[in-house]
Amino acid sequence: MSNLYRSALSARIAKLPADLGPAEDGVDEETDSLGSLPGSGMGPPAMQVSHFHPHYFGLSFAIEGLPYTAFQVALPGRNLDSRVYYTPPGEAQKGASQTVMILQHGAGYSGLSFACMAKEITDLSRGECGVLAIDARRHGRTASTSETPDEDLSIGVLVDDFVDVIQTIYGDIEGSPTLILVGHSMGGSIVTRACPKLLDKKYKIGGVAVLDVVEGSAIEALPHMNNLLNARPDGFDSVEEAVEWHVTTKAIRNPTSARISIPNIVKPSESSSLNVPPFVWRTTLRSTAPYWESWFLGLSSSFLSVRTARLLVLAGTDRLDKELMIGQMQGKFQMIVVPGTGHMLHEDDPTRLAEIMVDFWRRNERLVVGIKKVGEK
Indicate if 343 belongs to the active site: yes
In the set 110, 113, 185, 302, the catalytic residue is: 185
264/140 Cα distance (integer angstroms): 6
Question: Which of 139, 184, 246, 343 is labelled catalytic?
Answer: 343
- Output Rg (C-alpha) for the chain, integer angstroms: 20
Is 261 labeled as catalytic in the residue annotation? no
3-class DSSP state of 70: strand
Cα–Cα dist 122/120, whole Å: 5
Cα–Cα distance list, 116 to 23, 63, 322 (Å): 21, 11, 34
Shortest CA distance to 244 belongs to which of 50, 45, 42?
50
Q: Alpha-carbon distance 88 to 99, whole Å?
A: 9
Q: 233 CB contacts (<8 Å, ≥6 apart)?
A: 245, 277
82 is catalytic: no
User: Which of the residues 32, 212, 321, 348 is marked catalytic?
Assistant: 212
Taking CA atoms, 72 is separated from 93, 167, 181, in Å, by: 30, 14, 20
- Please list the active-site residues: 185, 212, 343
